[in-house]
């Protein structure tokens, strides 16, 4: 099938490349000419494992192209995907101006049937608003709006797209349903849920809100563990083995960051508010998540006693592993506070340091280094902010020998406390009874 895809951010780019990989003919549009030039040359604009090879092979196979021209993306495409950003407004609602801009841009160019599909997360009833806008703009051709939400995670986006747990198709007519089912003819080996547009919109918001709730729930249990001497990892396993609960998204730590959970929670709460439903649970989820940074900084403060003039090595600044994305990353709230406290930082992230450096350029108080070992050099403490797998296999004897004082404050509960103590570290994590252990052994 011929597809036009609007927006080449994380969702748009992965969607474009993966649909091309499945044999569809894809023209992806972005208004940023630099992005279009780079992608057309086969150079990725984001770091995403596995995407580079697929981008190049599909460009070579001429199944995929990029353009700044909306008409080119629309031309002969039966299905048009909206993959532009839907960030938060200051009042928490989703800012749909980019969606509206695309709709306004394509309306004068529509000359035959088009199925316009929402892929980005949008509030319930957005499809209705898009449809109304198209009519108001004088489009007479038969156009429809459908929803086909994307559930991919950054860092494993290609895998998630090609091996989804489920595909959700929200369509209100036979024709729209038929087109989307044809698009997903490939054997994905997963259920395809066909529902109304409104349901599909709600499923996407509900999924993200529920996953965020799981994370905040386990983080509250972590707080309780700290007080009563429990171990949150053991509890997560103990409850997760119950199939009704499941083991995923029960990793306690610094909480969720990223461009989706925070904004989608806020938007979902606003949707509920406007419908007269007080979704206080989700407000609490957000509050718990925000408080993680304070909890971690308190541990660092206690471990180092006085922060001023101390050196801290920071391991990871991305909002999660396997990505260079720092949007809403806890590091963005932690780093300025440490700098204000007079701490000197030695920062290492395998992919995301460059993005942080555009916000916090290197100076005498902040150095970007090329390895976790370099981050440890001369440090009074190491602060783990991202769950990168490579941190697991560090030579801790070497790390310890490089540090001025052997303190690790682990915001992602990456390491096993006993192992760290054997290496001679004073080790703090979240909700794993460290404080109690310290008391027992100290």
Is residue 51 within 8 Å of 21, Cβ to Cβ? no
Alpha carbons 207 and 213: distance in angstroms, whole number: 10
How many C-beta atoms lie closer than 10 Å to residue 130's C-beta? Answer: 23
DSSP state of 363: B
Using rule CB under 6 A, residue 350 touches ligand UDX: no
Span near ligand UDX by CB under 6 A; candidates 146-154, 227-235, 275-283, 306-314: 146-154
Residue 331 or 344: which CB sits closer to ligand UDX?
331
Residue 250 beta carbon to ligand UDX: minimum distance, rounded to whole angstroms: 6
Residue 3 or 209: which CB sits closer to ligand UDX?
209
Which of 4, 85, 257, 316 binds ligand UDX (CB under 6 A)? It is 257
Residue 107 or 347: which CB sits closer to ligand UDX?
347
Which of 85, 255, 262, 313 binds ligand UDX (CB under 6 A)? It is 255
Using rule CB under 6 A, residue 319 touches ligand UDX: yes
Alpha carbons 263 and 289: distance in angstroms, whole number: 13
Mask of contacts with ligand UDX, 210-249, x by CB under 6 A? -x---x---------------------------------x
Residue 248 beta carbon to ligand UDX: minimum distance, rounded to whole angstroms: 7
Helices (H), 195-329: 197-228, 232-240, 261-274, 280-304
Partners of 408 in the β-ladder: 382, 427
Which of 19, 66, 161, 256 binds ligand UDX (CB under 6 A)? It is 256
**Which helix (H) or strand (E) covers residue 328, if one does?**
none
Residue 222 beta carbon to ligand UDX: minimum distance, rounded to whole angstroms: 11
Using rule CB under 6 A, residue 12 touches ligand UDX: no
Alpha carbons 414 and 323: distance in angstroms, whole number: 17
Give the SS3 label for residue 346: strand
* End-to-end CA separation in angstroms for the chain: 67
Residue 66 or 319: which CB sits closer to ligand UDX?
319
Span near ligand UDX by CB under 6 A; candidates 56-64, 71-79, 122-130, 252-260: 252-260
Residues in binding contact with ligand UDX, number by CB under 6 A: 20
Alpha carbons 330 and 384: distance in angstroms, whole number: 11
Alpha carbons 85 and 243: distance in angstroms, whole number: 35
Nearest residue to 24 (alpha-carbon basis) of 52, 4, 49? 4
CA 87 to chain centre: 13
Choose the catalytic residue: 83, 129, 260, 398. 260
Q: Which of residues 154-183 bind ligand UDX (CB under 6 A)?
A: 154
Residue 393 beta carbon to ligand UDX: minimum distance, rounded to whole angstroms: 19
260 a catalytic residue: yes
Residue 411 beta carbon to ligand UDX: minimum distance, rounded to whole angstroms: 10
If phi over 0 gives left and psi between -120 and 50 gives alpha, with beta otherwise, what is residue 433? left
Residue 24 or 320: which CB sits closer to ligand UDX?
320
Which of 153, 177, 421, 423 binds ligand UDX (CB under 6 A)? It is 153
Within 8 A by CB and 6+ apart from 148, the residues are: 81, 117, 118, 119, 167, 168, 169, 170, 180, 200
Which of 253, 313, 316, 411 binds ligand UDX (CB under 6 A)? It is 253
The pair phi, psi for residue 23, each rounded to 5°, is 105, 0
Residue 168 or 304: which CB sits closer to ligand UDX?
168
Q: Cite the active site residues.
A: 260
Residues in contact with ligand UDX by CB under 6 A are 150-154, 208, 211, 215, 249-251, 253, 255-258, 260-261, 319-320
């Amino acid at each position: 099938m011929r597809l036009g895809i609007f927006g080449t951010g994380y969702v748009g780019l992965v969607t474009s490349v993966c649909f091309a990989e499945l044999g569809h003919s894809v023209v992806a549009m972005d208004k940023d000419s630099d992005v279009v030039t780079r992608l057309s040359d086969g150079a990725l604009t984001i770091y995403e494992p596995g995407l580079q090879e697929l981008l190049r092979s599909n460009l070579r196979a001429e199944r995929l192209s990029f353009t700044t021209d909306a008409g080119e993306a629309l031309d002969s495409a039966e299905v048009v995907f909206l993959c532009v950003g839907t960030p938060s407004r200051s009042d928490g609602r989703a800012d749909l101006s980019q969606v509206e801009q695309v709709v306004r841009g394509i309306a004068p160019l529509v000359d035959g049937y088009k199925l316009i599909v929402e892929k980005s997360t949008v509030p319930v009833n957005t499809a209705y608003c898009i449809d109304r806008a198209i009519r108001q703009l004088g489009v007479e051709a038969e156009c429809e709006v459908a929803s086909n939400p994307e559930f991919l995670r950054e860092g494993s986006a290609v895998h998630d797209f090609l091996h989804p747990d489920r595909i959700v198709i929200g369509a209100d007519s036979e024709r729209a349903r038929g087109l989307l089912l044809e698009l997903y003819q490939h054997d994905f080996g997963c259920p395809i849920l066909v529902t109304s547009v409104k349901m599909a919109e709600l499923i996407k918001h509900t999924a993200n809100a529920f996953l965020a709730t799981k994370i905040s729930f386990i983080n509250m249990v972590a707080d309780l563990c700290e007080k009563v001497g429990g171990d949150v990892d053991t509890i997560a396993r103990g409850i997760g083995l119950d199939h009704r609960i499941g083991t995923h998204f029960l990793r306690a730590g610094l909480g969720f960051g990223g461009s989706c959970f925070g904004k989608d929670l806020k938007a979902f709460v606003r949707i509920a508010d406007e419908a007269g439903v007080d979704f206080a649970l989700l407000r609490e989820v957000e509050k718990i998540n925000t408080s993680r940074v304070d909890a971690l900084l308190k541990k660092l403060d206690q471990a180092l006693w006085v922060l001023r003039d101390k050196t801290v090595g920071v391991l990871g600044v991305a909002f999660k592993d396997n990505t260079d994305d720092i949007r809403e990353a806890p590091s963005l709230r932690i780093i300025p506070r440490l700098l204000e406290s007079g701490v000197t930082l030695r920062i290492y992230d395998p992919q995301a340091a460059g993005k942080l450096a555009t916000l916090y350029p290197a100076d005498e108080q902040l150095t970007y280094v090329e390895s976790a070992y370099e981050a440890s050099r001369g440090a009074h403490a190491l602060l783990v902010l991202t769950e990168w797998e490579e941190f697991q296999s560090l030579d801790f004897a070497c790390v310890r020998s490089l540090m001025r004082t052997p303190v690790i404050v682990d915001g992602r509960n990456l390491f096993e406390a006993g192992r760290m103590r054997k290496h001679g570290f004073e080790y703090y994590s979240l909700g794993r009874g460290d404080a109690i252990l310290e008391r027992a052994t100290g």
